[in-house]
Amino acid sequence: MKILLLEDDFTLADTLKEVLESEGFEVDIANNAQEAYEKTFNEKYDLYIFDINLPDENGIEVLKNLRDADDETPTIYITALTDLNTMSKAFDAGADDFIKKPFEPEELLIRLKAKLKPHHDIIKINDIEYDPQTKEVKKNGKIISLGFVLKDIFHELITNRNKVVPKDRLLELTNAHSDATLRVNITKLKNKLGIDIKNIRGEGYTIEL
pLDDT tens by residue, 10-43 = 999 999 999 999 888 899 999 999 999 999 998 9
pLDDT in tens, 138-166: 998 888 988 888 999 999 999 999 999 99
Report whether pLDDT(116) > 70.
Answer: no
First to last CA, the chain: 33
pLDDT in tens, 67-86: 988 888 888 988 887 778 88
Q: What is the pLDDT, as a whole number, of residue 199?
A: 94
Report whether pLDDT(119) > 60.
Answer: no
Report whether pLDDT(195) > 90.
Answer: yes
Report whether pLDDT(120) > 60.
Answer: no
Report d(CA 91, CA 117) in Å as an integer.
23
Task: Report the range of poorest mean pLDDT among 23-27, 49-53, 71-75, 115-119.
Answer: 115-119
Q: What is the pLDDT, as a whole number, of residue 141?
A: 85
The b/e string for 183-204 (b: 16+ C-beta within 10 A; e otherwise) is eebbeebeebbebebeeeeeeb
Mean pLDDT estimate for the chain: 88
Q: Where are the alpha helices (H) located in the chain, listed in sequence order?
A: 10-22, 33-42, 59-68, 84-93, 105-116, 148-159, 167-171, 179-193
Report whether pLDDT(106) > 70.
Answer: yes
pLDDT average, residue stretch 175-191: 90
